[in-house]
Amino acid sequence: VGPYVLVTPNETRRKQLQQSNIPSNFHIFISFYSCSVAKKELDDLERWKKEHRPGPIMLVPQRLGGNESEAQVRQNQQMILMQSKYQKKNKREEYVKAKKAAEEAEILKKKAIQREKAERLEVKKRQEEMQRREMLLEDQK
C-alpha cells in the first residue's frame, strides 16, 4: 500500500519479550507508533485525493473538421503526401548541391593558397638567381 508495511506481531516472541526483564517494549511501541502514523498519513492522502478529484467535464458538442467532406479531406491528404515526397527529394538535392558547392569553394581556396605559395617561391628563386649572377659578375671583375 506504500512504503510502510504493517507486520502482525509474533505471539510467542511477544510473550518471551514480556516475560524477560529486558526493556524492549519501547521498540515495539515505536514500531507500532510509526505504523499507525503511516496509516494515518495514508488515510489523509486518500481523503485529500477524494476531495480534490476533478469533476466531470461538461462540453457542448461541436461539429469538428470544417466544411469539407471526408473524401475531400482524404484527397487533400493524399496530395500533401505526394507533394511531401517531391519536397523531400528537392530538399535532398539542394543539400547535395550546397555540399558540393562548399567543397568546391574549399578546393578553390586551397588552390589559391598553393598558387600564392608557388608564386612566392618563384619570386624567391628569381631573387636568389639575380643575387648569384651579381655575385658572379663581382667575382669576375
CB 1 within 8 A of CB 42: yes
Per cent of the chain over pLDDT 90 is 50
Q: Tens digits of per-residue pLDDT, 87-118? A: 999 999 999 999 999 999 999 999 999 999 99
Q: Is residue 20 part of a domain?
A: yes
Beta-carbon count within 10 A of 39 CB: 14
What is the maximum span of the chain, computed from C-alpha positions, in angstroms?
132
> What is the pTM for the complete model shown?
0.38
DSSP secondary structure code for residue 29 in this structure: H
Element (H, E) at 136: helix 70-140
Q: Is residue 39 part of a domain?
A: yes
Q: Is residue 32 part of a domain?
A: yes
Q: Is residue 122 part of a domain?
A: no
